Amino acid sequence: MGQMYKINPFLVWLTKYSAKVGKEPVPRLEALYDKSLGMGSFYAYNAGVLGAAAGIYLGQSLLLTVALAIATLASLGFLWNMANIFRR
């Protein structure tokens, strides 16, 4: 996830805005995505993976289900941010 937040905004910025530098205002790389959504997705995904591992280890299907739901929602947040980067 972290690498994608470094590489994708740079590639989009380079493609769409590099020719406009000095001629008109261009957005900063950080402006291409929602940083708080990215951080939230990162922490939620890690919590979901750890929770899923604990659910498997403890044999708790409810814990496993909840943890995987959290990881899925975190993945959707990540995908939303990536889509916003590429829509610019």
- 19-31 pLDDT, tens digit each: 999 899 999 988 9
Q: Note the pTM of the prediction, 2 decimals.
A: 0.84
Burial class of residue 1 in the structure, from the number of CB atoms within 10 Å of its CB (0-12 exposed, 13-18 middle, 19+ buried): middle
- Rounded Cα–Cα distance for residues 81 and 61 (Å): 30
- Tokens of residue 23, six digits: 């001629």
Q: What is the pLDDT of residues 14-58, one digit of tens each?
A: 999 999 998 999 999 889 999 999 999 999 999 999 999 999 999
pLDDT tens digit string along 71-88?
999 999 999 999 999 998
